[in-house]
């Protein structure tokens, strides 16, 4: 019998200083940690951070094999702007342990694998090869931010990263606001933490004063917070965002 592909959730504190890390058991169910502790084969977004995650797991549920003996392989990186060719031999090789009867774990940089994450291509490859996919329970920053925002949770879209160039970013913000106003849909986005402040300022500069803007910063961390208010109030707050803590942004136009 073939093995299975386990989608192992990660924490949401990637890149945060060790002193600010969340307690692993406060974020991930014990059952997830038990699965992670027994897996020998891993496909990950980043090998270094995957090892750091597994060290944290080992402190709660001892790994069945020494970390140095685990097979940890990074996902192939598709050319920018192009979808991964999941039928290519390199993708099939990632799932070879499962074809031979061993379970494989998929781990992303943060949150649920394959949600706003390149690991979705490996999941697609598993389905094409008839390998069972098992998602495990864990935090998704996008869904937690949506829940905390109080914005429309019946109709929403995750749009990923906005353009970095100022004029392109301004155009995209206005497009998303117009779409949100037309169909009543919440628009969610993220940014690299060191550009959090720049994105917030761009949103405040180009959104209508009555559009509701939500920011969730440091979700699941002891210092985490979420705030939703009309853009006019955000401008009055003068809120600043840290450059080393992940944040999720959402808007809903009136």
Residue ranges matching CATH 3.40.1010.10 in the chain: 4-135
Predicted structure pTM score? 0.89
Lookup: tokens for 168: 């392109």
Residue ranges matching CATH 3.30.950.10 in the chain: 141-252
Backbone torsions φ then ψ of 44, nearest 5 degrees = -135, 165
Per-residue pLDDT of the chain (254 residues; tens, 9 = 90+): 899 999 999 999 877 776 677 789 999 999 999 999 999 999 999 999 999 999 999 999 999 999 999 999 999 876 665 666 676 788 889 999 999 999 999 999 878 999 888 889 999 999 999 999 999 999 999 999 999 999 999 999 999 999 999 999 999 999 999 999 999 999 999 999 999 999 999 999 999 999 999 999 999 998 899 999 999 999 998 778 999 899 999 999 98
What CATH class has 141-252? alpha beta
**Any idea which architecture 4-135 has in CATH?**
3-Layer(aba) Sandwich (3.40)
């Amino acid at each position: 019998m073939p093995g299975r592909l386990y989608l192992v959730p990660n924490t949401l504190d990637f890149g945060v200083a060790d002193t600010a890390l969340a307690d692993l058991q406060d974020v991930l169910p014990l059952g997830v940690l038990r699965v992670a502790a027994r897996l020998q084969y891993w496909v990950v977004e980043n090998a270094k951070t995957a090892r750091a995650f597994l060290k944290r797991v080992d402190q709660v549920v001892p790994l069945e094999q020494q970390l140095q003996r685990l097979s940890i392989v990074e996902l192939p990186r598709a050319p920018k702007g192009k979808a991964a060719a999941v039928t290519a031999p390199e993708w099939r090789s990632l799932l070879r342990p499962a074809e031979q009867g061993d379970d494989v774990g998929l781990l992303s940089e943060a949150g649920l694998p394959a949600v706003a994450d390149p690991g979705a291509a490996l999941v697609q490859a598993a389905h094409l090869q008839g390998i069972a996919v098992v998602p495990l329970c864990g935090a998704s920053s996008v869904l937690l931010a949506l829940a905390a925002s109080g914005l429309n949770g019946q109709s929403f879209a995750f749009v990923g990263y906005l353009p970095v160039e100022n004029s392109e970013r301004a155009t995209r913000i206005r497009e998303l606001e117009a779409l949100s106003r037309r169909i009543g849909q919440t628009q969610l986005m993220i940014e690299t933490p060191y550009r959090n402040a720049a994105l917030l300022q761009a949103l405040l500069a180009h959104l209508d004063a009555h559009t509701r803007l939500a920011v969730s910063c440091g979700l699941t961390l002891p210092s985490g917070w979420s705030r939703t208010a009309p853009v006019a109030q955000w401008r009055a707050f003068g809120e600043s965002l840290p450059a080393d803590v992940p944040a999720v942004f959402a808007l809903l136009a009136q």
